[in-house]
Amino acid sequence: MEVLQTSNLSLVHRQELDEQSRLHQTEVQNIRREYESKLWAMQRAHEDQKDVIIQQVKAQVQSEVVKVQSVNSASISLLQQTNASQLSQVRDEYQKIVNQQVDFIRILKQEVVGLQQSKVNETPLRNQIEHLTASLRQANSQLQISSKRTLDMEAQIHHLSELSQLSLKQQNELTLQAQAIKILTQERDVLYARLEIMNQDIAIRGQGAAMRGQSGVQRIESQLGPQLQ
């Protein structure tokens, strides 16, 4: 009898558990449906809102693009005018330096040739070369200043080319002028080296003449020695 009652209680308890489980599953399903419904509604509202925001952003961007294009157009026009003026100044400075170097080297060549062909004695010739060498050193100092200006202008040209995209013709023209300055500077250095060699040669010849003179004096003294005694 007790066993039967226990069995009945167990059955009733299982039925209660089953009912509770069914109710729990039903409640979970209802909550899930409600959540999915709310989530779908939120997604739909978000999509609608996103479309509105996108349209607003597009309109704002288009408005800003128009403004920027207008400002850029004015800025580019002003920049082109400014760059044209600066390029003209840079080109004039280059040409001035080239002309100065050409004139200096032309005069230097004339003086070197004149010294090489000179038939005067060594002392005036040495004085002329020393004077020319001193003048060349002074000119070299001035050319160093010109070289710095050249580097400054090259940097300015590079900056301008980045800003306004110089035409290929303008770039080639300025590059050729820069190369001309470098070639003239190299030619100046060669002439300077030739002057130094001439100066050293005269010094050596002078020392040789002095030694020969001293040797002659000694020879005469040796010849006249017995007579002087």
- The string of DSSP codes covering 3-15 is HHHHHHHHHHHHH
What is the model's pLDDT at position 22? Answer: 74
Can you tell me the distance from the alpha carbon of 142 to that of 138, in angstroms, rounded to the nearest whole number?
7
Q: For residue 37, give the 3-state DSSP assignment.
A: helix
**Per-residue pLDDT of the chain in tens (229 residues, 90 and over written 9):** 554 455 555 666 666 766 776 777 777 777 777 767 776 776 676 666 666 666 766 666 666 666 655 655 665 555 556 656 666 676 677 677 667 767 776 776 676 666 666 555 555 666 666 666 666 666 666 666 666 666 666 666 666 556 555 566 666 666 676 676 677 667 667 766 776 776 666 666 655 555 554 554 455 445 444 443 4
Secondary structure element (H or E) that encloses residue 109, with its range = helix 2-117
What is the model's pLDDT at position 60? Answer: 67
Residue 180's identity, in one-letter code, is: A
Cβ neighbours for 170, distance < 8 A, ≥ 6 positions apart? 87
Q: Which of 156, 149, 152 is nearest to 100 (CA)?
A: 149
Can you tell me the distance from the alpha carbon of 92 to that of 89, in angstroms, rounded to the nearest whole number?
5
DSSP character at residue 42: H
Secondary structure element (H or E) that encloses residue 137, with its range = helix 122-164
**Cα separations in angstroms, 39 against 29, 43, 47, 167, 182:** 15, 6, 12, 61, 76
CB atoms within 10 A of CB 192: 18
What is the model's pLDDT at position 34? Answer: 75
